[in-house]
Amino acid sequence: MTREKAIEIFKQTGALLEGHFRLTSGLHSPQYFQCARVLQYPQHAEGFCRAIADHFRDAGVEVVISPAIGGIVVGQEVARLLGCRAIFAERESNVMTLRRGFEITAGEKVLAVEDVVTTGGSIKEVIALAQQAGAQVVGAAFIVDRSAGRAQFSVPFFATLKMDVVTYQPDDCPLCRQGIPVVKPGSRKV
């Protein structure tokens, strides 16, 4: 999928939002990628996730893990395309945890996936969780990398769309100074 086609899909589905947003990372931004609006269309979910699956097809992935909630659909679809199982981690007492009977076996080849990355905090937690279980994490992948190259990982990583999106520290946000109300659309508290 080309960058232009990916942006067209985000705009067409209303998934590229403009305004004043507080991201999961705590940073503020005038743009927000609401991947759920893209992923509600199975043909778009398959298209983005196929790019991820194709990128890691020869890595021997046995399980795909994602952080809840944003990464669940991505993880499920990538796993379907790779023919392996999909699990997700959830926050419990503010720590990423495997629940619902999910397990990772020592030595399993794991791919960590997420919908959108800004700082990479959630996906790094999932990678660490898998590594603590003794898994071999073969990579990380995302639908959108909006970090402008700032998010780096200890494993090979891939994004279907890279966007340089402006972010601000809350105490230095021009949108706050203009009195524009901030919206928190993410799923961190869910």
Q: What stretches of 3-124 adopt beta strand conformation (E)?
A: 16-22, 28-33, 63-67, 85-92, 95-98, 109-117
**At residue 102, what is the residue type?**
F
Domain definitions of the chain by residue range? 3-177
| 1 pLDDT above the threshold of 90 | no
Please write the tens of the pLDDT for every residue from 39-92: 999 999 999 999 999 999 999 999 999 999 889 999 999 999 999 999 999 998
Please write the tens of the pLDDT for every residue from 134-146: 999 999 999 999 8
Class of the CATH-defined domain 3-177 = alpha beta
User: Is residue 153 classed as helix, strand or coil in its secondary structure?
Assistant: coil
Instruction: Give the 3-state DSSP-derived string for 114-138, with helices as H, strands as E and coil as C.
Output: EEEECCCHHHHHHHHHHHHCCCEEE
Please write the tens of the pLDDT for every residue from 89-135: 999 888 888 999 899 999 999 999 999 998 889 999 999 999 999 99
pTM for this one?
Answer: 0.86
User: Is residue 141 classed as helix, strand or coil in its secondary structure?
Assistant: strand
Rounded CA-CA distance 75/91 in Å is 17
Residue 186: per-residue pLDDT: 63
**At residue 39, what is the residue type?**
L
Considering only the C-alpha atoms of the chain, give the largest distance between any 2 of them, rounded to a whole number of Å. 52
